[in-house]
Amino acid sequence: MGSLVGQLFSPGNSGYKIWEDPSIIKWRKRDAHVPLHSHESVEGSLQYWHDRSKVSILDAKSAVWDDESVAKALDFAADSVKGLPYVKSLSGSWKFFLGSSPDDVPSKFYEISFDDSSWHSLPVPSNWQMHGFDKPIYTNVVYPFPLDPPNVPEDNPTGCYRTYFSIPSKWEGRRIFLHFEGVDSAFFAWINGHPVGYSQDSRLPAEFEITEFCHALESGQRNCLSVIVMRWSDGSYLEDQDHWWLSGIHRDVLLIAKPKVFIADYFFKSSLAEDFSSADVQVEVKIDKSGSDVDNSVEAGNFFERDEDKFLSDFDIEAEIFETGNGHCSVARLQLDTCVDYHLGFLGYQLKGKLELPRLWSAEHPNLYTLVIILKDSSGCLVDCESCQVGFRQIKKAPKQLLVNGQPVMIRGVNRHEHHPRLGKTNLESCMVQDLVLMKQNNINSVRNSHYPQHPRWYELCDLFGLYMIDEANIETHGFHLSSNVKHPALEPIWAASMLDRVVGMVERDKNHACIVSWSLGNESGYGPNHASLAGWIREKDPARLLHYEGGGARTSSTDIVCPMYMRVWDIVKIAQDPSESRPLILCE
C-alpha cells in the first residue's frame, strides 16, 4: 500500500484511484478514540479543565463576522492546546496550490526539496473556497456531481498544502502522532517525503503515527508536512447534506507526543441507584504498548493472562473523580478490577468505584466532574495522564416519555449546522457560545448536530451550558432517492464498512460527553441492512443511550424514538393516542 500511495501522482501510474474505491477508506489511520491531552501531571489536568470552563459571554456578544474572524479562527485553534505541553497546534499560514484535478498536482510536491516559493499562502484551518480558490456550492438534495458511484468527476479540485514544524526538545524519546480534526473530503499526508496515511470522512479526526518519519531532534532539522486534499471522493456520496459544500483542512491539525506505553482510549460509564443517592462508576481503559519491548503478538493458549501479568508487574493504572467547583476535591477513587479485552494490539483494563450523593447532570443543572486517569511505572512515577469532564445522569424511556434522571423531559430543540459567513465550516468559540446563549434565552434545551459530528469544543460547551444533544453520524445519501437506476448504499455491502466506520468514529470520539442523550445513524439515507448493522454495533457498545434514526420510518428496529420530519399536528396527535406505540416522539425536523 505504501508504494501504491507513493506512485499515485507519478506519471504512468495505472489510473487506479483510491478516492474512488469504497473498500479503502483509510490507510495507517489509528483506531478512533476520545480526544487525548497527554497531561504532564494530575494538577496540570485539573488546571486545564478549570481554564477550559472559563467562557466569556461578552466575547459571544461581539462575535466576529469580518476579515478579523480569520485571525480569530487561528487563535481559537491554538487556544485548545494551552496548558498541554505534549500537544502542539500546527495552525497558521501554510503554502497552498490548487489544481483542477489530481492530475494537476505538481510532481513530487511532497519532497523536502520541492520549491513552493511561488505557491499562495492559506490559513489552516480554513475552507479554500472562502479565500478565493474554487467556488462554494450549495445544494439540498441533488448531488453537485453526476450520480455515478463510486466515481467522481475528472474535474475534481485538489489542494496541495505544505508546512514545516519542529519537535520540542521536551518530546525526546516520545512517540509522535499527527492528528487532523477535520478535512473535506479525502486526503493523503506525507512527512519528509514519506507517505504516512490516507483518510476519508470530512467531519471526524484522522490520526497517524509519524515517529519513524520525523528527523531526530539532535539533527536540528525542521520536518516537512505535505497534504493533498481531493474535493470529491467516493466518501462524498455519503455526505449529501443540505448545506454549503466546502473543502480543505477546516479544523485544527495537531501533533501529540505520547510515551512508549500510553493511555490510548477510555470509556466512562455510570449506573445510578434507584433513588439516585449513589453512582457505580466503571471506566474501561485501553493501553497502547506497541512502542514497548513487550511482545505484541497473539499466541495460542494463555497469552492473554501472561501478557496482562507482565504488564501489571511493570505498570499500574489509577483513576480519580474530582469535583470541579470545590477546589478540585477528590470525591472518588477507582480501583483496577479486571482485564476486559484484547483488541487490535491494545490491552483493555477496567476500573471501578462508587460515588455517594452525586450531583446530577441535566440541562437545568449541568453539574460536571473531572475524571483523571493515571498510568504509573513500577516505581510509582507518572508515565501518562488523561482526563475529561463527565456528568452523572440517567437516560431512559417510559411509555411515550423520555426520562432524564427519572423525570419526564419535553424536548424543545433545534437542528444546528456548522457555518460561518466568513469562515465557512471553520469554527469560532465565540460563535458557538453565541448560539448557546441564544438557545438558552429562548428556552431551547436540545440540539441535533445536523447532520454530522461537529467540532470537539461544541460538545464541551454543551456539557458546560447544559444542552441535550443528538449526535449524528456523517451519513446522508438523499440524492439517491432521485434515481431508480442506482442501487442505494443502505442496501449495498460495498458501502457497509464506510458507513460503520463513520458511526464507530463518532461514538468512540464523543462517548464520554454527558450532553449526548442519543446517537443518530445519519440523516435521510434510506433504510437497509447496513443501518441494522450500525444500530446493532451502537447498542452493543453503548446501551445507556437511545438510538435515533428517521430514515425508513418509525417502525424499523434501528430507532428507539419516533422521530418524524415535518409532521402535521393532527398526525402527531394520532401517534400520541395510539395505544400500540409506547416510544417517545421527537419531531427531529
The 3-state secondary structure of 239-295, one letter per residue: ECCCEEECCEECCCEEEEEECCCEEEEEEEEEEECCCCCEEEEEEEEEEECCCCCCC
pLDDT in tens, 337-361: 866 555 444 568 999 999 999 999 9
- Which cell numbers in the block locate residue 301? 493458549
pLDDT in tens, 291-345: 876 544 444 344 445 566 677 778 999 999 999 876 678 889 999 986 655 544 4
Among 72-76, 91-95, 190-194, the range scoring the smallest mean pLDDT is 72-76
Question: Residue 176 in contact with residue 210, Cβ under 8 Å?
Answer: yes
- Complete domains list, the chain, with CATH: 2-30+63-258 (2.60.120.260), 262-390 (2.60.40.10), 410-576 (3.20.20.80)
Residues 212 and 55: their CA atoms lie apart, in Å, by 39
Region of residue 443 (phi > 0: left; psi between -120 and 50: alpha; otherwise: beta): left
* Residue (of 462, 536, 527, 475) closest to 505 by Cα position: 475
DSSP per-residue codes, 316-353:
EEEEEEEESSSTT-EEEEEEEEEEEEEETTEEEEEEEE
Structure pTM? Answer: 0.95
Residues 261 and 293: their CA atoms lie apart, in Å, by 10
Instruction: Report the DSSP beta bridge partners of residue 139.
Output: 243
* pLDDT exceeds cutoff 70 at 581: yes
- Give the list of residues 6+ apart from residue 131 with CB closer than 8 angstroms, or none: 122, 123
Catalytic sites, residue numbers:
524, 589
Residues 190 and 164: their CA atoms lie apart, in Å, by 12
| Counts for the chain of helices (H) and strands (E), in that order | 10, 30
pLDDT in tens, 402-412: 999 999 999 99
